[in-house]
Structure 1
C-alpha cells in the first residue's frame, strides 16, 4: 500500500495487530494520490499511550482528541496520524460500527492483508456509497451529510436504500453540533462538482432544519445559472476566474466561489441571511463576504452607475468584485454591459477602481493649517471624486481644490 511508503516513524514501534482504516485505505484501493497523507490507525488497547510514545520518540506534536474513547493525534511534519482504540472485541466489530461500507475496510500493517467484512472493496469498484446499517447513521447523524460530501469528492452514487434512509433520518441532523455540519459543507462546497451534490442535498431536505426557511423549488436552476456564469467569466476573463478560487484567508481555505454557491441557499434579506450563517457558525470573514455582496449586488442589477457611484461601489465591494459579477450574470445581466466595470477592476492603474492619493492627510493639515479632524477625510474623498471626474490632476491642483472647498464648507 502506498501509504506505508516514507512514513515518519518506524513500524517496529507499533504493537501487533495495528490497522490502517478510513480514507487512506479507500484512496489506495481507488488509486488516488493524496497531496497530504493523513493516517487513521486502530489498535486493540493503549491507543493514547502509543500516540504519546510516538510523539516523544520523534518530537512530534501530541493532541488528546477524546480521552473517553481513547483517541489521540500525533502531528508530524507533512503528516497527521490519528490513533484510536478498537471499538469492540475485534477489528470486525470495530468496522461494523462505521458509516458506509467504503469506510469499513482495514489494512493490517503487519500481515499486509485487507480486512473487508462488508464488501466495501466491491462498492468502491462500483463507485457506490452504501450504509452498513440504519442504526449506525442514527448513532451519529452527521454521517447523513457525509454521504453527499464523499459522493462529491469521489464522484460516487448513493445506493437507493441508503438514500431513502437518509431522507427519513433528516430531522436528526439538527442534533449535530453546528461546527461539524459546517465542516462537511465546506468540504463539499470546495469540490469541483459541488453544485450537483448541493442540489441533491436540497432535494433531500438535509439543510431545511439549519436554514429555518424553505428553499425555493428553483434552487437547482439557480445553481445551473451560477455555474454557467462562472464558465462565461472563465472563458472571457480568466484572471477574474482565478480570483474566485483564491482562499479567503491563509486560515480559511474556502473560496468566494464556494461562498457564492452557498449564498444561493440564503434569504435575500441581509439580516435573515446573516442569522442563517451565524447559526451554522460561519466565520466573520465568510459572513462579511456574503453581507457585502447582498448589500451591493442590487446596484449591478439596476441602471448604469455614474463615475462617483462606481467609485464608492468599488470601495465597498473590494475583493468581492469577481463574485458580484458572477452573481449579476447569473441573475440575467449581460456580460457585455458589465465589461467596462470588469476592465476597470483588472486595470491596476484605473483611478475609479484602484484610487491612489494625490495628497495625503498630513499634507492637507500643513497646507490648510487646520488640526486633524474628520474634515480631512471628507476633503480627501472629495479630491478623489474631483480627480476621477477630470477636475484636477496634480497635487498642487488638489491642494488648491481643498482650500476652495474648505472655504465653501466654512
Structure 2
C-alpha cells in the first residue's frame, strides 16, 4: 500500500516546496486518508502539524509564494495559506508529542500522519486498518463531546467515503446526540449541505435524523419528510433520463456564491415546514442565504399550483413568478404527487410534462416571454404618465403575446390602447 500512497503525497505535487517545512513536520487528516484510499483530488486541501512556530511558517510560505494568508485561530496557532489550486493549513502541535495530538482527533482514519522528510506513515490508532475495513471508528467519546459537530460529521464522511460507522461509535453518537444543539447553526448547515448534495448522502442524513441529530434544527421534519428525500433522488433520476438538460440544471448552484444545488435545495425544502412563512423562519435561523430562503419559499408556494395551471394565462404568471426556481419547483411537485405510488405508465409525468417542455424551450413565449414594447413606448404612444397602469399594460401584452394574440410592437400598442379605452 505505502509506495503508491507516498507517491500521491509526494512534495513535488504540493503548491510549495518541502524546504519551507521545518523538521519535524507532519501532514495529517483528509489528504493522508484519501491518499491511502487512492482518491484523487483536483483541489489540494492540506493539513500540517508543526511542533512550534506554525503561524510563522505559514506566513513565510504565503509571503514567498505571494499567496493568501488567513489567521484562523491565534490562540491555538492555526493559519491557512491559500493558493490558486490548493489550501494548506498549519497548526501548532497539541500536547507534547505527535501521538498526543493524533489522540485528540475525531476518527481513527483521520488520525494518520505522514512525515514528508522521512516518508514515513505514523498510525498509532490503526486508522489504516479501519480504512481497509471501510469503517469510521471514533477515537474516544470525549473527543466527540468536545466538538459535537463531529457527531454529524461522521454521517457526512461515511456518505462521502462509502464507509460504515462502527457499532460502538454509532451508539456513542446516539447517546451524545443532544450535544449537537451546542453547535453554531452555520457549522451544522455546511455538513447538511454535503449530505444533501448527492444521493449517497440521502440514507445518511435520514439516519442522522433518526438518531436525533437534526431535531434541534428541523423541528417540523418527520419520518415522512425523510422519505421524501429518497423520492427526490428517484424523481431526479427519472427527470434526467427524460430531459437531460433539466438534469444538468439540477446540479447547478443556486448562485455562484451559494454552493447549494437545485437538487439539494429541493431536498432541503422537504425538511422544513411546507408553509412558506414558517419555512422562511426555520431557514433564517439556520443562517441560509437570502437567495436560498427565497428560492425555497417560492418553490413551496408554487409547486401545488403547477398541476392546476391549465390555461396559458395561468402558466404565464407561474413561470414569471418561478423564474429559475422552476427547476426545484417542478421537482417538488413531482415528489409530492408520487409519494404513495411510484411513477409508472407511458407518461409518468402527467400534466407536468408540457410545463417542463415549455421551460426547456428558450423560444416558448409562455415560459420565456420577450418584450415587444417598453413602458416608455407605451407612455409615448398613448400619452400617459408613469404609473402602475403602465406595468399592468405590459403584463397584459405579455399574456396576449403568449396566447398568440399579438406579435408585433404595433399590435401591442393597439392592445394597450384598447385596454385603456375600455377601462
**TM-score interval for Structure 1 and Structure 2 normalised by the shorter chain:** over 0.9
Q: Normalising by structure 1, what TM-score? A: 0.96
The equivalent residue for 1:187 is 194
Residues 324-376 of structure 1: CA distance to partner in whole angstroms, max 9, x if unpaired? 22221212264032111111111111111001112111211111112222211
Give matches, 1:49-198, under 5 Å.
49-198=56-205
Say yes or no: does 1:231 pair with 2:229: no
Aligned 8 A contact 1:199 1:219 in 2: no
The equivalent residue for 2:22 is 15
**Structure 2: where are the runs of 5+ without partners?**
1-5, 339-347
Residues 40-85 of structure 1: CA distance to partner in whole angstroms, max 9, x if unpaired? 0000011011111111222211111000000001112211110000
**Alpha-carbon distance, 1:387 to partner:** 2.1
SS in 2 for 1:193: helix
**Alpha-carbon distance, 1:192 to partner:** 4.0
CA distance in 2, matches of 1:143, 1:383: 56
The equivalent residue for 1:321 is 326
Say yes or no: does 1:348 pair with 2:338: no
CA distance in 2, matches of 1:387, 1:75: 52
CA distance in 1, matches of 2:403, 2:288: 40
Q: Paired residue for 2:412, among 398, 403, 408?
A: 398
CA distance in 1, matches of 2:199, 2:301: 28
Aligned 8 A contact 1:152 1:191 in 2: no
**Alpha-carbon distance, 1:250 to partner:** 1.3
The equivalent residue for 1:272 is 278
The equivalent residue for 1:28 is 35
**Alpha-carbon distance, 1:304 to partner:** 4.1
Aligned 8 A contact 1:21 1:40 in 2: yes
Greater alpha carbon shift after TM alignment, 88-97 vs 197-206: 197-206
Aligned 8 A contact 2:178 2:212 in 1: no
CA distance in 1, matches of 2:170, 2:155: 10
CA distance in 1, matches of 2:157, 2:80: 23
Q: Paired residue for 1:361, among 375, 382, 386?
A: 375
CA distance in 2, matches of 1:5, 1:153: 27
CA distance in 2, matches of 1:229, 1:8: 42
Greater alpha carbon shift after TM alignment, 323-332 vs 24-33: 323-332
Residues 2-49 of structure 1: CA distance to partner in whole angstroms, max 9, x if unpaired? 232332222112111000001100000000001100110000011011
CA distance in 2, matches of 1:325, 1:281: 25
Residues 119-156 of structure 1: CA distance to partner in whole angstroms, max 9, x if unpaired? 00000111100000000001000000110000111010
CA distance in 2, matches of 1:108, 1:6: 15
Q: Normalising by structure 2, what TM-score? A: 0.93
Say yes or no: does 1:247 pair with 2:273: no
**Alpha-carbon distance, 1:183 to partner:** 1.2
Aligned 8 A contact 2:27 2:115 in 1: yes
SS in 1 for 2:350: helix
CA distance in 2, matches of 1:196, 1:361: 52
Q: Paired residue for 1:332, among 337, 346, 368?
A: 337
Residues 289-341 of structure 1: CA distance to partner in whole angstroms, max 9, x if unpaired? 1100011111024x343111100000111112122222212122640321111
Say yes or no: does 1:299 pair with 2:305: yes
Aligned 8 A contact 1:73 1:80 in 2: yes
SS in 2 for 1:390: coil
**Structure 1: where are the runs of 5+ without partners?**
none
Aligned 8 A contact 2:159 2:204 in 1: yes
Aligned 8 A contact 1:241 1:322 in 2: no
SS in 1 for 2:66: coil
SS in 1 for 2:351: helix
Aligned 8 A contact 2:276 2:297 in 1: yes
Greater alpha carbon shift after TM alignment, 196-205 vs 99-108: 196-205
